[in-house]
């Protein structure tokens, strides 16, 4: 199974500052057939289901503010929030869908 | 508008069974792979199972293999999760989720249904 490791486990950032979350996979999730990284980022607020933020490691879902960006390839990935807003307080998860079981990282709790 | 509505959760004793349902609407259900993902109280997300659009192939997390069965009825636009031999560690909110197409990322989630395994 592919193990997804996120860091840090929690993060406190001031309003307007940059937040950076790391996600590392135990195996390469770059698919040779289509040259896509099978890595997705989700945001989950308390009492709500997760929400899709970023797919294929760097493609922003429609409607997601452009302060959210994803980068990386292979085994090392990063989610960046360029200027933190109050509504960004949430837990963020990465997930690989390269191979079943489609494992998640343990989550990063983002606070102000 | 894509909608996924789970039902069937509740309190069950250890060793018991439960069947979850997920009613899908707002898209052509028969064209999409579907998933179940769970979240234990205060814990992170854990992928449980997925099924191909025509039901011909399924995959499971090791923790549920042999006890849970995912299935679907494309005529009823409904996804199911049959859960047998339930354990306390299966206590969680269970989310129904849609794959973006086939073997892809999850793009829509239901609100979830709570399963509590306790005597």
The yes-or-no verdict on residue B91 having pLDDT over 90 is yes
The token duo for A79 is: 């989610």
The yes-or-no verdict on residue B103 having pLDDT over 80 is no
Segment B51-84, tens digit of pLDDT: 999 999 999 999 999 999 999 999 999 999 999 9
The answer, for B57 touching chain A at a CB cutoff of 8 Å, is no
Confidence band for A75, pLDDT divided at 50, 70 and 90:
very high
The answer to whether A101 contacts B61, with C-beta atoms less than 8 Å apart, is yes
Chain A positions touching B62 (Cβ under 8 A) are: 1, 101
Q: What is the average per-residue pLDDT within A3-25?
A: 97
Residues 6+ apart with CB under 8 A from A71: A57, A58, A77, A78, A80
What span, in angstroms and rounded, lies between the C-alpha atoms of B45 and A102? 11
Q: What is the average per-residue pLDDT within A37-54?
A: 97
Which pLDDT does position A61 carry in this prediction?
Answer: 94
Chain A positions touching B114 (Cβ under 8 A) are: none
Map residue B70 onto helix, strand or coil. strand
Which pLDDT does position A27 carry in this prediction?
Answer: 96
Which pLDDT does position A38 carry in this prediction?
Answer: 96
């Amino acid at each position: 199974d592919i193990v997804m490791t996120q860091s840090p486990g929690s993060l406190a950032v001031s309003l307007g500052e940059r937040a950076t979350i790391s996600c590392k996979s135990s195996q390469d999730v770059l698919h040779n057939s289509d040259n896509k990284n099978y890595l997705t980022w989700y945001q989950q607020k308390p009492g709500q289901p997760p929400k899709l933020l970023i797919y294929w490691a760097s493609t922003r879902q429609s409607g997601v503010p452009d302060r959210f960006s994803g980068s990386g390839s292979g085994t090392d990935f990063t989610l960046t929030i360029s200027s933190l807003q109050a509504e960004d307080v949430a837990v963020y998860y990465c997930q690989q869908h390269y191979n079943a079981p489609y494992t998640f990282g343990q989550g990063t709790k983002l606070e102000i | 508008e894509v909608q996924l509505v789970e039902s069937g959760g509740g309190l069950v004793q250890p060793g018991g069974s439960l069947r979850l349902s997920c009613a899908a609407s707002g898209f052509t259900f028969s064209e999409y792979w579907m998933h179940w993902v769970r979240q234990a109280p205060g814990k992170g997300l854990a992928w449980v199972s997925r099924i191909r659009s025509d039901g011909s192939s399924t995959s499971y997390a090791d923790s549920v293999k042999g006890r849970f069965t995912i299935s679907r009825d494309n005529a009823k636009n409904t996804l199911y999760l049959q859960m047998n031999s339930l354990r306390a560690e299966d206590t969680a909110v269970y989310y129904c989720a849609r794959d973006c197409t086939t073997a892809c990322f999850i793009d829509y989630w239901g609100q979830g249904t709570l399963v509590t395994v306790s005597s």
